[in-house]
Structure 1
Amino acid sequence: MSLVLSRVDYVSVGVTSKSTTRILPSHEAKATQKFAIGDHDGILHVFGMKKGELQLVFKSLPGPKIERLVLGGSLGSPKDKIFIAYGNSVKGYTKKGKMFLEFDTSLIDPITSMFVLGPDLAACARDLYHRYQNCKDADSYLAGETLNDVILIPGEGTSVLAILACGDRAIRVLTGTKNPTILRLPSVPTVLSSWREDDRDSRNRILLGTQDGKIGLLTVQGAKTIRITWLLTTVASEVTSLDTYELDDGLDILVGRQDGSVEVFTFSDDEETTPLHRYRYNAGESISTVMGGIIGASGYPEILVTTYSGRVFGLTTRPPGSLEAGANLEALEKLKTEILQLEQKLVEDSEMFDFPNEGIVPLILSVNHRMLLDPDTASYQLSIELDTPIDNVLIQSDTPVELLDESNSAVASLSICNPLENNFVLATYRCQANVNHLETRLRTIEGQSGVLQVYVTTQIQPKGCRRINVPIYALSLHARLHQDENPHTSGGPFNELRLVGGFTVAEMHAWLSLALPHIPERPQLVDGEAALNYISTFVGTLLKCKYKKGSASFLGENVSSVIILRDLLTREATKRKIKLDVFCDIAEGSVTRVLELILPRLKAADELTQKLRILDALQEWEMKSEAEGNLSSEYQELLRQEDQIRQQMAKHPEILVRLHGVITDLYVDWERAKGARRMTSAVAAEKLSSALETRNIEALQQIILGKDENPITPPASLSLGQDIVV
Structure 2
Amino acid sequence: MELQLSRVDYAVVGVTNKNCLRLLPASTPKDQSKVAIADSEGILQVFSVKKNDIQLHFKTLPGPPIISLKVAGAAGTPNDKIFTATGNEVKGYTKKGKLFLVFDSGMTENINSMYVLGNELFLCGRHIYNHYRDCKDVGSYLCGDTIVDVIAFYMTKSKRLTSLIACESRMIRVLEHARLIASLEIESSPTVLHIYHSDDDDVKTVLFGTVDGQIGILNIETLQGFQRWLISNEKNSSPIVCMDSYDMSGNGQKNLILGRQDGNVEIYYVNVQDEMDSTSLIFLENCNESIMGMQCGIVAAPGYDEILIVTYSGRILGLTTQVTDANFDGSTGNYIFSSDTSTRINNLKGEIENLKMKLNKEREKYQESTMNSFMELSAISLIPINSTFILDKNNASYTLILEVPTAIDNILIECNCKINLLDVEKNTAVISYSKISHSKALTYILATYRCQINTNRIELKIQTTEGHKGVLQAYISPVLQPKCSRLLQFDIKALSLHYRVTEYSDLNRPFSELKLKGSFSLAEMHNWISQCLPEVPEKPDFSNDTTLFFQSSILNTVLVCIYKKGDAEFKSDNLMTLNILKEVLSVEATKKKIKLEFNLNINDECINHVIKIIEPRLLRHKEFLRNRELLEALNELEIVEEENVKYLSDKYKSILDKKSELNEHFKTYPDYLERLYESVINLHINYSKLKGLNQSKQKVDLLKMYLDNYSYEGILNLFLNGSETKEE
* TM-score, normalising length: structure 2: 0.91
Aligned twin of 1:456: 476
2:321 pairs with 1:303: no
Say which of 353, 368, 392 aligns to 1:340.
353
Aligned to 1:233: 232
Counterpart amino acid of residue 232 in structure 1: I
The AA in structure 1 aligned to 2:240 is V
Hey, what does 2:334 align to over in structure 1? none
Aligned twin of 2:712: 697
Query: AA paired with 1:76?
Result: G
Residue by residue over 1:73-95, the C-alpha shift from the partner in whole angstroms, topping out at 9 and shown as x without a partner, is 21232211111112222222222
The worse-fitting range, judged by mean Cα deviation, of 10-19 and 648-657 is: 648-657
Matches within 5 A, 1:370-389: 370-389=388-407
- The offset of 1:360, in angstroms, is 10
- Which of 467, 472, 480 is the equivalent residue of 2:500? 480
Residue in 1 that maps onto 2:551: 535
Aligned length: 704
Cα contact 1:475–1:516 (8 A) shared by 2: yes
Q: What is the match of residue 259 of structure 1? A: 262
Alignment of 1:163-178 (within 5 A): 163-178=164-179
Match of 1:291 in 2: 295
Quick check: 1:408 aligned with 2:408?
A: no
Q: Output the CA distance in 1 between the equivalents of 2:404 and 2:562.
A: 41
CA distance in 2, matches of 1:565, 1:443: 20
Consecutive unaligned residues of structure 1, counting only runs of 5 or more, are 717-726
Cα separation, partners in 2 of 1:522 and 1:203, compared to 1, 3 Å: farther
* Corresponding position of 2:412: 394
SS in 1 for 2:514: strand
Amino acid in the other structure paired with 2:668: K
Q: Separation in 2 of the partners of 1:675 and 1:655?
A: 30
Inter-partner Cα distance in structure 2 for 1:410 and 1:487: 43
Which residue of the other structure, out of 670, 675, 680, is the alignment partner of 1:658? 675
Quick check: 2:131–2:178 contact (8 Å CA) kept in 1? no
Letter in 2 for 1:393: I
CA deviations 1:126-156 (Å, max 9, x no partner) are 2332222222222333332222211100146
Matches within 5 A, 1:566-581: 566-581=582-597
Alpha-carbon offset, residue 116 of structure 1 = 0.8
Deviation sequence 1:513-569 (CA, Å, 0-9, x none) = 111111112112442x21111011101111110111111111111111111111111
Whether the 8 Å CA contact 1:360–1:465 is kept in 2: the answer is: no
Tell me the distance in 2 between the aligned counterparts of 1:52 and 1:663.
64
Larger deviation, residues 448-457 vs 324-333: 324-333
**Equivalent residues of 1:122, 1:150 under 8 A apart:** yes
Q: Which moved more, 1:410-419 or 1:287-296?
A: 410-419
Indicate yes or no: 2:725 matched with 1:713. Answer: yes
Match of 1:685 in 2: 700
Give the match for residue 386 of structure 2: 368
For 1:197 and 1:632, how far apart are their aligned partners in 2? 55
Query: Over residues 313-365 of structure 1, what are the superposed CA-to-partner deviations in whole Å (9 max), with x where a residue is unaligned?
Result: 111222225686593555444323212222333444555567999x9966521
1:653/1:51 Cα in 2 relative to 1: closer, same or farther (>3 Å)? closer
Matched, 1:281 2:285: yes
| Alpha-carbon distance in 2 for matches of 1:592, 1:226 | 37
In the other structure, the counterpart of 1:611 is 627
Report the residue type matching 1:416 in the other structure. Answer: K
Which SS does the other structure have where 1:519 is aligned?
A: coil
Match in the other structure for 1:518? 535
User: Is 2:591 the counterpart of 1:565?
Assistant: no
Counting aligned pairs with the same residue, the percent is: 38
Tell me, in whole angstroms, the C-alpha distance in 2 between the residues paired with 1:689 and 1:676: 19
Contact 2:268/2:280 (8 A) holds in 1: yes
Matched letter for residue 724 of structure 2: I
Structure 2 CA distance for aligned equivalents of residues 238 and 376 of structure 1: 14
Q: Secondary structure at the match of 2:357?
A: helix
Q: 1:433 aligns with which of 436, 453, 456?
A: 453
Q: CA RMSD in A?
A: 2.7
Q: Distance in 2 between matches of 1:326 and 1:525?
A: 73
User: Which is further off, 625-634 or 559-568?
Assistant: 625-634
In structure 2, how many angstroms separate the alpha carbons of the residues matched to 1:94 and 1:344?
A: 37
Q: 2:526 aligns with which of 489, 509, 530?
A: 509
Equivalent residue for 1:597, pick from 613, 617, 627: 613
1:452 alignment partner AA: L
Find the aligned partners of 1:201 and 1:409 in 2 and give their Cα distance: 47
More displaced 10-residue stretch of structure 1: 572-581 or 242-251:
242-251
How far apart, CA to CA, are the structure 2 residues paired with 1:499 and 1:314?
58
Q: Are the structure 2 counterparts of residues 423 and 268 from structure 1 closer, same or farther at C-alpha, using a change threshold of 3 Å?
A: closer
Assess if the C-alpha contact under 8 Å between 2:197 and 2:204 holds in 1: no
- How far apart, CA to CA, are the structure 1 residues paired with 2:727 and 2:615? 32
Q: In 2 relative to 1, CA 686–149 (structure 1 residues): closer, same or farther, beyond 3 Å?
A: same
Output aligned runs, 1:10-49, within 5 Å.
Answer: 10-49=10-49
Moved more, 294-303 or 259-268: 259-268
Equivalent position of 1:635 in the other structure: 652
- Distance, in Å, in 2 between the alignment partners of 1:133 and 1:309 is 35
What secondary structure is seen at the aligned counterpart in 2 of 1:692?
helix
